[in-house]
C-alpha cells in the first residue's frame, strides 16, 4: 500500500525532529537546574520511593519514566555513570517530544487541512527554546504528550459523545497531572465548556454531564492517590513564600571577611491591581515574542478574531479558545502571586495556539494585500522570514554560558575527596561534582565553598580561607573556590 504524500512529509518532519533532538542533546553544555532536581529525584526514587515522593515538591511521573529508562540501561551495565543518567532523562524527553508532535498533528487536523497542519508541526519543531527543552532532562514535553492526547480525545468525545473517548481523555489527564500539576487542565476546560454549553441550553446537556463525570472520575483515579499521599490538592512547592520579606543587612563578624556571591532568592515584582495591572500581560507578551518572534503576530490576530466570534465558532475552536483564555488567566495569577512567567509556563499556550497560525496569517495577508496571488506570496515570505529568524538560535549550543559549571563540577569530581561537602550557589555544580552539597550563603558544615565573582550578595567566610585554582581560564575568571578545612585536595582517580 503506497504511502500518501502527506504521510511521507509527516515522516520526514519526524525524522528532522529526531535528528534535531540528537543534535541538541549532543551539543548540550550544561543541563538546567530543574533537570538536576528531576535526576536526583530519580536516584532517590530508585532506592527509597516513598521517602523521595514525600521529600520532593516535583511530581513523580517524569522521574518514574526516567527510572524506567535507567532500568532498561541497567540491562547492559550495572552502575550507571553520570553521563548515562543524564542521557536517560534526555532520551525520555526526546521520545515524548516525538510522540507529542504526532499527537499535535492529529490535533491540528481538527482545525485545518492536513497540509496546513503539517506546516504547523514544522514550525513547532523549529521553535528554538522548545527544541532546547526537548534536549534537556525536563518534564514539559512528557506532560504535553498527555495533555495533547487528553485534548484530542476530548474533542473527539464531544463530537461523538462516545464514553470511551472521555474515559481515555480522563486517563491521559490524570497521567499528565502525575508529571506536572497543570496536566489536569483539560478536565478544568471540559468543565468550563460544559457550563458554556449549559448556558446555551444545548440538548446534549445531560449526556455531556455524564461524559464529563466519567472523564473527571477516571482522571481522579490516577491523580487522587498522589494527592492523598501528599495531603494536598496541588502538592507543589509554595511559589516564593518569601516574596514579602526583605534581606536585612548583617554586621560582619570580626573573624570573617565579606565576599560577594549571587545566591539571593528571586525577588518578584509584586503586581498590584491598579497601577501594575498591565505588568502581567506585558510580561506575557514579552515572553511570547521572545519564544516565537514574528509568529506572535498571526497568532494574536487569530486569537482576537476567535474571541470576538466565540459563540459562532465550531466546537473545536470554542474549546481551544476557552483553553487559551483560561491558561492566560492562570499565568496572570502566577505573575500576581510570584512575580514571574517563564518560557516553560507559556509552552502549552504556544503549542496549542499554533493550530491557528495559518488562519491568523491569512487574516494578516488580507489586511495587507488586495490581490489573492499577492496574499499567497506575502504569507510564504512571512513564513520563510520567521523560519530564518529561528535558525541561528536553533543551531546554537544550549546553555553555552553555563558550560563552566559543568567543567568545574567535573574538576571537583576528580580533585576533592569523595566525602567532601560543598557549599554552592548553583546545584548544577554539586550535581556534576557528585558530592554532597547545599546551596547556601553561609559555609556551615562545608569543606569547600564555591562563589561567583563580581556579584552583589554578601557571604561571610573565615579570614584567609585559601583559594583553589582549577587551571581552566573560563572557570577561574568567573568562580572562586574556597577551602574551609585543613584537608588538601586529593585526586579521586
pLDDT, position 490: 53
Identify the pLDDT of residue 431.
Answer: 92
What is the phi/psi pair of residue 266, to 5°? Answer: -60, 130
| 283 contacts: CB under 8 Å, gap ≥ 6 | 335, 340, 341
pLDDT on residue 117? 93
pLDDT at 265: 35
Q: Three-state SS for 49? A: helix
- What's the confidence (pLDDT) of residue 110? 92
pTM reported for the whole predicted model: 0.86
Phi and psi (nearest 5°) for 231? Answer: 55, 45
Secondary structure element (H or E) that encloses residue 436, with its range: strand 436-439
Q: What is the pLDDT of residue 259?
A: 43
The SS3 call for residue 236 is coil
The whole-number mean pLDDT for each consecutive block of 10 residues of the chain, a chain of 493 residues, reads 71 90 88 92 89 88 94 87 92 95 94 92 93 92 96 91 91 94 90 79 70 91 88 60 34 40 39 59 90 91 85 87 92 84 92 93 86 87 93 88 90 89 88 87 74 67 77 87 68 51
In 3-state terms, what secondary structure has residue 215?
helix
Quick check: 173 and 184 in contact, CB under 8 A?
yes
Q: Which residues contact 376 (CB under 8 A, 6 or more apart)?
A: 365
The string of pLDDT tens digits covering residues 428-452 is 999 999 988 888 766 567 888 888 8
Which residues, other chains included, contact 73 with Cβ-Cβ below 8 Å and sequence gap of 6+?
Answer: 80, 84, 88
Q: Please list, residue by residue across 420-433, b when 16 or more beta carbons sit within 10 angstroms of its beta carbon and e when fewer do.
A: bbbbbbbbbbbbbb
DSSP letters, 284-321, are HHHHHHHHHGGGHHHHHHHHHHHHHTGGGS-HHHHHHH
Residues forming a β-bridge with 261: 457
Is residue 31 packed enough to be buried (19+ CB in 10 Å), middle (13-18) or exposed (0-12)? buried
Q: What's the pLDDT tens digit per position in 171-187?
A: 999 999 999 988 889 99
Amino acid at each position: 500500500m503506497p504511502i500518501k504524500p502527506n504521510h511521507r512529509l509527516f515522516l520526514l518532519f519526524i525524522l528532522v525532529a529526531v535528528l534535531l533532538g540528537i543534535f541538541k542533546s549532543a551539543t548540550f553544555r550544561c543541563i538546567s537546574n530543574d533537570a538536576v532536581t528531576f535526576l536526583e529525584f530519580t536516584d532517590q526514587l530508585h532506592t527509597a520511593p516513598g521517602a523521595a515522593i514525600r521529600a520532593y515538591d516535583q511530581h513523580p511521573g517524569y522521574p518514574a519514566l526516567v527510572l524506567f529508562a535507567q532500568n532498561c540501561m541497567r540491562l547492559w551495565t550495572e552502575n550507571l555513570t553520570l553521563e548515562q543518567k543524564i542521557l536517560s532523562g534526555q532520551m525520555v524527553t526526546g521520545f515524548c517530544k516525538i510522540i507529542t508532535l504526532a499527537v499535535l498533528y492529529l490535533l491540528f487536523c481538527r482545525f485545518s487541512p492536513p497540509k496546513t497542519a503539517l506546516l504547523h508541526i514544522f514550525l513547532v519543531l523549529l521553535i528554538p527554546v522548545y527544541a532546547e527543552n526537548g534536549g534537556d532532562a525536563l518534564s514539559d514535553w512528557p506532560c504535553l504528550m498527555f495533555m495533547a492526547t487528553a485534548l484530542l480525545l476530548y474533542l473527539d468525545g464531544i463530537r461523538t459523545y462516545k464514553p470511551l473517548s472521555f474515559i481515555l481523555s480522563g486517563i491521559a489527564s490524570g497521567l499528565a497531572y502525575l508529571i506536572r500539576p497543570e496536566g489536569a487542565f483539560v478536565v478544568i476546560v471540559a468543565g468550563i465548556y460544559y457550563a458554556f454549553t449549559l448556558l446555551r441550553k444545548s440538548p446534549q446537556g445531560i449526556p455531556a454531564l455524564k461524559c464529563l463525570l466519567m472523564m473527571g472520575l477516571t482522571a481522579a483515579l490516577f491523580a487522587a492517590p498522589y494527592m492523598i499521599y501528599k495531603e494536598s490538592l496541588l502538592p507543589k512547592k509554595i511559589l516564593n513564600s518569601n516574596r514579602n520579606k526583605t534581606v536585612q543587612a548583617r554586621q560582619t563578624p570580626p573573624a570573617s571577611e565579606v565576599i560577594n556571591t549571587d545566591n539571593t532568592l528571586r525577588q518578584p515584582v509584586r503586581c498590584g491591581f491598579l497601577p501594575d495591572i498591565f505588568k502581567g500581560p506585558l510580561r506575557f507578551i514579552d515572553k511570547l515574542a521572545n519564544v516565537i518572534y514574528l509568529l506572535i503576530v498571526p497568532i494574536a490576530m487569530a486569537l482576537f478574531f476567535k474571541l470576538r466570534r466565540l459563540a459562532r465558532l465550531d466546537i473545536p475552536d470554542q474549546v481551544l479558545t476557552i483553553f487559551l483564555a483560561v491558561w492566560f488567566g492562570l499565568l496572570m495569577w502566577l505573575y500576581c502571586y510570584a512575580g514571574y512567567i517563564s518560557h516553560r509556563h507559556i509552552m502549552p499556550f504556544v503549542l496549542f495556539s499554533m493550530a491557528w497560525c495559518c488562519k491568523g496569517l491569512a487574516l494578516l495577508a488580507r489586511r495587507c494585500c488586495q490581490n489573492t496571488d499577492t496574499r499567497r506570496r506575502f504569507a510564504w515570505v512571512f513564513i520563510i522570514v520567521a523560519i530564518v529568524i529561528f535558525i541561528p538560535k536553533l543551531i546554537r549550543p544550549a546553555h553555552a554560558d553555563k558550560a563552566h559549571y559543568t567543567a568545574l563540577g567535573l574538576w571537583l569530581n576528580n580533585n576533592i575527596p569523595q566525602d567532601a561537602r560543598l557549599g554552592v550557589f548553583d546545584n548544577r555544580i554539586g550535581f556534576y561534582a557528585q558530592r554532597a552539597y547545599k546551596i547556601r550563603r553561609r559555609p556551615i558544615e562545608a569543606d569547600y565553598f564555591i562563589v561567583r565573582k563580581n556579584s552583589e550578595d554578601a557571604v561571610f567566610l573565615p579570614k584567609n580561607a585559601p583559594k583553589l585554582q582549577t587551571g581552566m581560564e573560563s572557570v577561574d575568571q568567573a568562580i572562586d573556590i574556597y577551602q574551609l578545612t585543613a584537608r588538601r585536595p586529593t585526586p579521586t582517580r
